Structure 1
């Protein structure tokens, strides 16, 4: 195992100082996005003069904890685990590990999603939209609960990684406790056939994202007098993001070829991203519309809908080209170059326009998700700005990894496909 688990000699995220800043910064940013745009704080954004008063009040700090919200959140996580265990699902193979083994994954995230939507719909039908508005009312408590779960999981996986026979992530074995805990020391922490990393990537946070949006739409409906009073802007946000999640869950096998699964360990970075960041920051637009309804009208609604559809088409069609090519198919007759190691790199189609055309589609959708909130506040446009930074960072990580793998052939490839994400721009 010492040969299979060499000591990591390079850092990402500026090493331990960067890991510390992200570890502290992500929870602070999640809370800040709530208090910078909520009724409880007095607006979006609230008056700057009120912020020091809140932070200096001990009762404000106590209000971050909600026992009921914590119990509900942990029950939700247990429900997802139980659904994974009970619901039927195919077994698919992941990439070949350094040990020569191929990890098997049970795929039933979409079934879990449908079951959850069915239960939620039944509750709303039977008890009315006000029955699920508790998420809006206990928002901060749920944020704290998901943060607690992230810390517990990251810590448990870190300590378990020191047991003999564990396959470590090549980037998570530096010997620095903080950094390895943050980046993820073990590649695939598992309990029997239950793979912790792939489970968290798709189920608890991603499905909760949709459930939270539904709850926020119900909050707006309760205030306005019924489900038929939900605004067109809220319907757009709900439709766009629900479709995005549905698409990801339906195409669950595609997850097992991503960098998160094949090379990254599971530590606090992935745990807090999956469980806290995604469901409680990506729902910012719906939460804003719950207390600040916006009516767009047919023309603006159609324009935003077209923009989202263009982004989705680019995202899905480019990913389809890549997945077909990886599986030995080339229905469009795309051109490619062959490296000295025998790898094939696409140089036409979407992948001839840029190195990551799927990211371009993602960014167009991100903008479409925010436009329904109007222009009364810049805070609801946080997501596309953050997402652009995230994708640029991910592209640079991928560029570095591919250069190490392909050497001079990667330099030749970049001359054929010079643009990184957006053709003729970046």
Structure 2
């Protein structure tokens, strides 16, 4: 799908008239629900709380006893974990400034300008992995088990950082000249804080949104997985094939995303959504501490899969990755004016071009289909003893369907009757011939 420069509208910051997420009540529910769910996935799937899940007859009494206990609430905070998290975030900021990287222009913003983004997330990842490898080689796996040991403290620190950034960005969005997100200027503070009021909050050339999208949380996700593998090694003297699979799949996914950093500059998160608590808590807390659930589960419930199961799961992941990368490659080439496969497309009345062949002729979001297959492959190594380790697949399916519907709605507004014509040519939303 192509983009072109348009003259800036007369009113750059119109009032938002259409709510998403069921409006302020929904925004408040998610604002409270995301942190609560992050904690619940730990207490509902942990050796310290009685298993995954704990015995049902003890679950509710244990919950009541905990929330009525002052020490339990105080135990959510861990100063050492908070300082470690703050040091990690500071390291990512310093790496952004210090490490070399190309400057790439994003898409045109509605005021007619473009932003430049420094591309060095993959370099930051390599530096981190190199330093961590040295630490583990020198001091042993036991030197990097502290994330598992101080899990709740790290979760609390990441949520605190998310709240801090959400509040700060909301307050600074009221400064003169700030360009607001079209969906985040409703005038309701609860809703705008959650969705994100300012489109691109920045400190000089430092863009807060794109930085959080790829660096602190995404790289931390891999660090968490490595910490889980270290904990398993310390306990057993070896790492199971299931843990290696989860670590390899998720580390590769992260590395691939960081290597292809410029690709995020055309996503809805960057081009359309403001930066508020929704993106902050998603990037900083949800990604590293929910997406790593499978690795954490395998620490206290180690599983040896065997050769046949391992090969089968690897094939599922490779298929998902192939679809994901091939589809995104076609889209990025086309958006940048290249069409090496001579893919067919239709041209809208406004001059935009929409792909109608290749992967994008099979469904309107084929990359989401690849994503879902990979998500399934990440959960399969945990076996079938509990549905909780498949939470990510279920959640991700709901997220992608919601994102697909948002995208389709925006495209219908943008392209009008041309979008209906396009949907007749490409009728399937995500999974070809199914949905």
| Rounded Cα–Cα distance in structure 2 between residues aligned with 1:290 and 1:255 | 33
Shift, 1:277, TM fit: 0.3
1:331 to 331, 340, 353: 340
SS of residue in 1 equivalent to 2:115: strand
Given the alignment of the two structures, is residue 315 of structure 1 paired with residue 324 of structure 2, yes or no? yes
**1:21 corresponding residue in structure 2:** 29
Shift, 1:258, TM fit: 0.5
| Rounded Cα–Cα distance in structure 2 between residues aligned with 1:100 and 1:55 | 52
1:293 to 302, 324, 327: 302
Deviations 1:85-118 (A, max 9, x none): 1111110001112222111111110111111101
**1:176 corresponding residue in structure 2:** 188
1:6 to 14, 26, 29: 14
The 5 Å alignment of 1:86-125 reads: 86-125=98-137
| Rounded Cα–Cα distance in structure 2 between residues aligned with 1:201 and 1:352 | 29
Shift, 1:124, TM fit: 0.3
Given the alignment of the two structures, is residue 266 of structure 1 paired with residue 279 of structure 2, yes or no? no
Given the alignment of the two structures, is residue 38 of structure 1 paired with residue 50 of structure 2, yes or no? no
TM-score normalized with structure 2 length? 0.96
SS of residue in 1 equivalent to 2:107: strand
Shift, 1:2, TM fit: 7.8
| Rounded Cα–Cα distance in structure 1 between residues aligned with 2:116 and 2:242 | 42
SS of residue in 2 equivalent to 1:122: helix
Shift, 1:53, TM fit: 2.6
The 5 Å alignment of 1:163-242 reads: 163-225=175-237, 229-242=238-251
2:389 to 380, 387, 395: 380
Shift, 1:60, TM fit: 1.4
Deviations 1:72-96 (A, max 9, x none): 1011100100000111111000111
1:153 to 152, 165, 172: 165
| Rounded Cα–Cα distance in structure 2 between residues aligned with 1:103 and 1:77 | 23
Q: Which aligned segments of 4 or more residues in structure 1 are displaced greater than 4 angstroms?
A: none
| Rounded Cα–Cα distance in structure 1 between residues aligned with 2:112 and 2:319 | 41
2:429 to 409, 420, 423: 420
Shift, 1:62, TM fit: 1.3
**2:4 corresponding residue in structure 1:** none
Larger CA deviation: 274-283 vs 49-58:
49-58
Contiguous gaps of at least 5 residues in structure 2: 1-8
**2:291 corresponding residue in structure 1:** 282
